[in-house]
Structure 1
Amino acid sequence: MIDTTDLIRELIYQIRLGEDSAYEFKSITIKGDKVTAPHRDSVADELAAFANANGGILVLGVADKTREVEGIPLADLDTVDKWLSNIATAIDPALYIEIRLVEIPNRQGEAKPVVWVRVAKSVFVHRSPHGYFHRVGSSKRAMSPELLFRLEQQRSMVRLIRFDEQLVPQANQQAIAPELKARFLRGDLPEKTQLKKLYLIGEDESGQLCLTVSGVLLLTARPADFLSSAYVQCVAYSGTERNAEYQLDAQDCDGPVDEQIRLALTFVKRNMRTEAVKRPGRIDIPQYDLAAVFEAIVNAVAHRDYSMHGARIRLHLFADRLEISTPGGLPNSLTIDSMDANSITRNETLVNLLSRYYPADPISKRQNLIERRGEGVPTILAASERLSLRRPLYEQIDHTELKLTIYAASREKNGLVAQFSAE
């Protein structure tokens, strides 16, 4: 975060020069507890234009024509802050903005409060109320269809090719949790060098260090603060349909990805039933093979499409089945029919780090969280079918989501009793 003294010095200098491709000034009018000018849609267009270009700064409380520092009443600063936050979340996809409240002198030397808003260059293309805009010189311009197509193509290609190595502009070094980076540091090399070699951090166009997508997922305490959908939503129902009246338990697993996996598996353990029969001794019949569930959760977290804004992993437990819905269609040439024979990785960096630095849950009976032998899907299919006598079902939904259904075993239908009888 820029030092306040440096920020004020830069701001005074920029006001003297006027607007350019990186700075926009606006007067602001407030009546009662509402901002009446500028119009919120106009401000949304300005913010989105910065994000779609190379980023920039909006300053409220400075007249754009006269460059006069008009200021904002202290009592209204909270109103302006909330107004800006609402505008940013209304942009599609929602925009992350940094807001600072500072005082700068006007021409008479009187200190006046202004609101400083920084928008980083985005890895997404943002649509605001009046369409798609970008910044050209000191003004916003509507994108031509050709420019919009090229930008969408460029940024979607960035998402498809090593998206997990792309920088997340708002995630700086201060976002790193010290206890989470320790596992990656070896020997005497500088910390910065080691984390860069692993593609956990990198430098943006201005030379500032930022976390990559993989860095956010592995090194921050709550990745959803930077990638809003980077968590696992878990819900358990008493019946066979999604109905809030029959909801038994719910949890958002939103820590670093290894913690998301652990919490999601614990959620299944906590909510699945274990029945029993006597033949002649007691035979416990769990609804699900937990090693298979573990593989399914790991696959969902490691291989989901993190570039899809607003799409989270959904793990839903019903009385007769477990459903795991993962954002993103199958990558490249992989198909439903070839999943158990072929393995193609979407997030190469993330998968590589999970396979090298993270021990597995003991229930998986293996050494690392991911073992890159392509055995995850075969394990899910075979182990689940042995238990419930029904083969799990993979479905691709509109090429944007992969849904796995694992059917529950019961006293009436399971493979354990027959196995016991055979022995």
Structure 2
Amino acid sequence: MNIKELIQQGENSAVEFKAADVWPESLAKELVAFVNGQGGVVLVGVDDSGNIKGLKTDLNRPTEFCDWVANILRTAVNPPINADVSVAQVDGKNIGVINVPKGTDKPYQTNAGQYLVRVGATNRAASVQELMRLFQQAGVFHVDANPVAGAGIKDLSLSSLDQYLTRYDLSLADDADHTALLQNMDILTAEEPTIAGLLLFGINPQRFLPNACVSYAHFAGNTIDAELIDKQVINGTLPEQIERALAVITNNVAVSSNIQGAKTEPTTMNYPQKVFRELIVNTVVHRNYSIVGSRIRILHFGDRIEFISPGRLPNTVSIQKLPFGVSYASNPIILKFLENLRYVDKLGRGLPMVWQEAKKLMRKVTFEEIGEEFKVTLSLKSGSGN
């Protein structure tokens, strides 16, 4: 990392300047905002305009500065933060460098009880929705267990529930009062269906959760302004969304071919259907259903398919881990039912399978967190393998 280049770029979502006389409480706020997001670098001894001032005399030695920051990381932030602290010399002056990682124990707060997030080049108090997402990433609570306001047992398909229960030799007909059974299954709260219950067994889930669906768009070119070949909004329960989305993608993936004698031979190898299925299932199982203004989006271009799901990865999951297998549950109730319905392998082998299938075809699959979304991009062109 070139410190001088960072300074020249100015403050941004990943870089913060602090004057040499910064108060511990002020520095703690910057550290909390970074660790609650994707991490960043705090440079101490640089003013807001990027002028290099250097460290104060009593903190100018590396040992003194590192001990001072370590005390703040340990005592002014809750829970404590592990960060890489060092001193670099720039233009003959010592600059304190604090590399803050993405937090694994979110949400973090200052000792004053402030939950802060980084927005652009500034930090601010987390909104209720942002704080809820931070707690969800920490696994403190799960959105799919929340009740759906206004919905009732009448909005659940009892026939679908009975069909599910037959595999356990149970039936709703065995008990006139279904409430206790459905509550024990996490399908009902006191009287209202849970988000999971409505999405898995609802008669019309989108009546109450209008954006809990999949938007599919197929473009003639490789950019979003290209002509549309197909566009659909896929509603229904999660199993219905999975099956319909898979059918739509399968129908839209073209396979070029040549006639060889009496046979038609494909000239372009395609992914097996299980790859598309896994990526669709991954979006519906792990999306953040508390983000009500966004849908799952599948964007099909000439050279790639993008699977975009609202919500970030949980605290303990990193992009680097995904190709090697990670088992996590953003929505454990939804995961439980889809696993029982044979849509999910909870061992975390799905994304590694996608990675390997792409590699066989000398294609590329990438995983990204962009804002409050997680995106998997599947290349449709050979020659760009990993």
TM-score (norm 1): 0.54
Q: 1:338 to 1:156 in 2, by over 3 A?
A: closer
Check whether the contact 1:163–1:307 (CA below 8 A) recurs between aligned residues: yes
Check whether the contact 1:228–1:310 (CA below 8 A) recurs between aligned residues: no
In 1: Cα distance, 2:183 partner to 2:282 partner: 25
Partner in structure 2 of residue 211 of structure 1 = 193
Give the alignment partner of residue 248 of structure 1, picking from 215, 229, 238.
229
Check whether the contact 1:323–1:403 (CA below 8 A) recurs between aligned residues: yes
Partner in structure 1 of residue 345 of structure 2 = 371
Q: Deviations over 1:38-78 (max 9, x none)?
A: xxxxxxxxxxxxxxxxxxxxxxxxxxxxxxxxxxxxxxxxx
Partner in structure 2 of residue 302 of structure 1 = 285
In 2: Cα distance, 1:155 partner to 1:220 partner: 25
Shift in Å, 1:276? 2.2
Shift in Å, 1:317? 0.7
Alignment of 1:79-228 (within 5 A): 153=131, 157=135, 161-185=141-165, 186-187=170-171, 188-189=174-175, 190-203=177-190, 209-228=191-210
1:407 aligns with 2:379: yes
Shift in Å, 1:163? 1.1
In 1: Cα distance, 2:201 partner to 2:162 partner: 10
Partner in structure 1 of residue 335 of structure 2 = 351
Partner in structure 1 of residue 36 of structure 2 = none
Check whether the contact 2:299–2:305 (CA below 8 A) recurs between aligned residues: yes
In 2: Cα distance, 1:296 partner to 1:179 partner: 29
Shift in Å, 1:268? 0.5
Count of aligned residue pairs for this structure pair = 250
Q: 1:199 to 1:248 in 2, by over 3 A?
A: same
User: Could you tell me the percent identity over the aligned residues?
Assistant: 26
Partner in structure 2 of residue 312 of structure 1 = 295
Runs of at least 5 residues in structure 1 that lack an aligned partner in the other structure? 1-144, 204-208, 359-367, 416-423
Read off the aligned partner of 2:145 and give its amino acid letter.
E
In 2: Cα distance, 1:314 partner to 1:383 partner: 22
Read off the aligned partner of 2:148 and give its amino acid letter.
V
In 2: Cα distance, 1:230 partner to 1:379 partner: 26
In 2: Cα distance, 1:406 partner to 1:233 partner: 17
Partner in structure 2 of residue 394 of structure 1 = 367
Check whether the contact 2:364–2:384 (CA below 8 A) recurs between aligned residues: no
Q: Deviations over 1:337-358 (max 9, x none)?
A: 01133221100011001111x2
Shift in Å, 1:283? 3.3
Read off the aligned partner of 1:226 and give its amino acid letter.
F
Check whether the contact 1:286–1:409 (CA below 8 A) recurs between aligned residues: no
In 1: Cα distance, 2:129 partner to 2:310 partner: 23
Q: Secondary structure at the match of 1:200?
A: coil
1:382 aligns with 2:330: no
Give the alignment partner of residue 325 of structure 1, picking from 293, 298, 308.
308
Alignment of 1:29-68 (within 5 A): none
Check whether the contact 1:323–1:404 (CA below 8 A) recurs between aligned residues: yes
Shift in Å, 1:149? 6.6
Read off the aligned partner of 2:291 and give its amino acid letter.
M
In 2: Cα distance, 1:223 partner to 1:260 partner: 11
Q: 1:298 to 1:149 in 2, by over 3 A?
A: closer
In 2: Cα distance, 1:158 partner to 1:381 partner: 27
Give the alignment partner of residue 274 of structure 2, picking from 282, 288, 291.
291
Check whether the contact 2:215–2:298 (CA below 8 A) recurs between aligned residues: yes
Q: Deviations over 1:81-109 (max 9, x none)?
A: xxxxxxxxxxxxxxxxxxxxxxxxxxxxx
Q: 1:345 to 1:279 in 2, by over 3 A?
A: farther
Partner in structure 2 of residue 231 of structure 1 = 213
Read off the aligned partner of 2:185 and give its amino acid letter.
L
